[in-house]
Structure 1
Amino acid sequence: MKTRKHNSQARYRWLAKPLLSHAYRTWLINNQSLTARLQQRYLDFYVAPLTVNFLKPIHDEAAPLNVSADKIVLVRDVLLYGGQRPVVFAHSILPRKSLRGVWHGLGKLGNKPLGATLFANPRVKRTTLSYKKLSPNHTLYHHAVKYLTTKPASLWARRSVFSLNCATIMVTEVFLPNILLP
């Protein structure tokens, strides 16, 4: 029984380093704006909005945001495209209290990149990146592979929390295999 509890907790643990991430490593560890980096790489970069809904956070999202797992948060899912292929699935969550003040419009970005908004303000603070190799038993894996023709055995993701005054937002970026294509 003790082993099960440990395995269950390990399933939700995010890492301080992207161990054995190989080809994805350079994408994962760069702590600059992913949007800016993708815009430099792809002349045809664009954001395709998928969903914006009020939902409960995924099990491993509540604690880093200091919200209760049963609280409703705003969830925004988008695909970032480059080379006319989806290269990143981005998942952002904002506690309701963060939708006031300076970030009141973040739920209405549409096809505008969130990264451009966050990195444009020098007062926005970002936590250290954390990493996870998502397996098919993780909710974000299922959300991301919906848009792929071939489903990989796993996907690498990184996440961090951005804050400004008392407002916070967690951004998780799931790197799709297309990011490795030339």
Structure 2
Amino acid sequence: MTQRLDGYCERLTVSVANERFIAPGELNDELAHLPVSDRYWLREVVLYGDGRPWLFGRTLIPRQTLEDAGIDLTKIGDVPLGRYLFQHDALTRDYIHTGLCDGLWARRSRLCLSGHPLLLTELFLSEAPLYLMDSREG
């Protein structure tokens, strides 16, 4: 998604809203999509295209994935997660679900990095190019 959004703006930036470890009790229905863990890395960001908020992203990573995947996803800072993850050959997608939430499109993907899962939820905000009629995409 990062690469696609890049094509709609001069500058794509990330604002990290929240990054921290959380306990399983702090998860909602997301827990059903992840293996049991004593804690999870939570990363919540907003992606901006030329200063306009386009996407809210929420990533949950079990501790075991952080330890076993061979890369430190807790230190990527303001780098878009997609830019960081999709440079690794060992990344696969188990599934992707899409739907509407209060009139906004959302999607949830379970990704695996070297066989270790993480959950990415994306909410496309009202100013996202997704909602614009674009002749380039028909």
TM normalised by structure 1 equals 0.64
Aligned-partner residue type, residue 66 of structure 1: P
- Give the TM-score, by structure 2 length: 0.83
Give the match for residue 46 of structure 2.
Answer: 79
Number of residue pairs the alignment of both structures matches: 129
Structure 2: stretches of 5+ with no match in the other structure? 134-138
Segments of 5+ residues of structure 1 without an aligned counterpart are: 1-33, 135-152
Picking from 65, 71, 95, the partner of 1:128 is: 95
Displacement of 1:103 after TM fit?
4.3
Letter in 1 for 2:124: F
Counterpart for residue 171 of structure 1: 120
Q: Tell whether the 8 Å contact from 1:103 to 1:167 is kept in structure 2 after alignment.
A: no
CA distance in 2, matches of 1:105, 1:99: 6
Amino acid at match of 2:28: H
Matched with 1:59 is 28
Aligned with 1:174: secondary structure? strand
CA RMSD of aligned residues (A): 1.9
Give 1 or 2: higher strand fraction. 2
Of 54, 58, 61, 1:91 maps to: 58
Runs of 4 or more, structure 1, over 4 Å off, are none
Q: Which has the larger radius of gyration?
A: 1
Residue 81 of structure 1, CA deviation: 0.3
Tell me, in whole angstroms, the C-alpha distance in 1 between the residues paired with 2:36 and 2:4: 31
**By percentage of residues, which structure has more helix?**
1
Q: Please name the residue that 2:81 is paired with.
A: 114
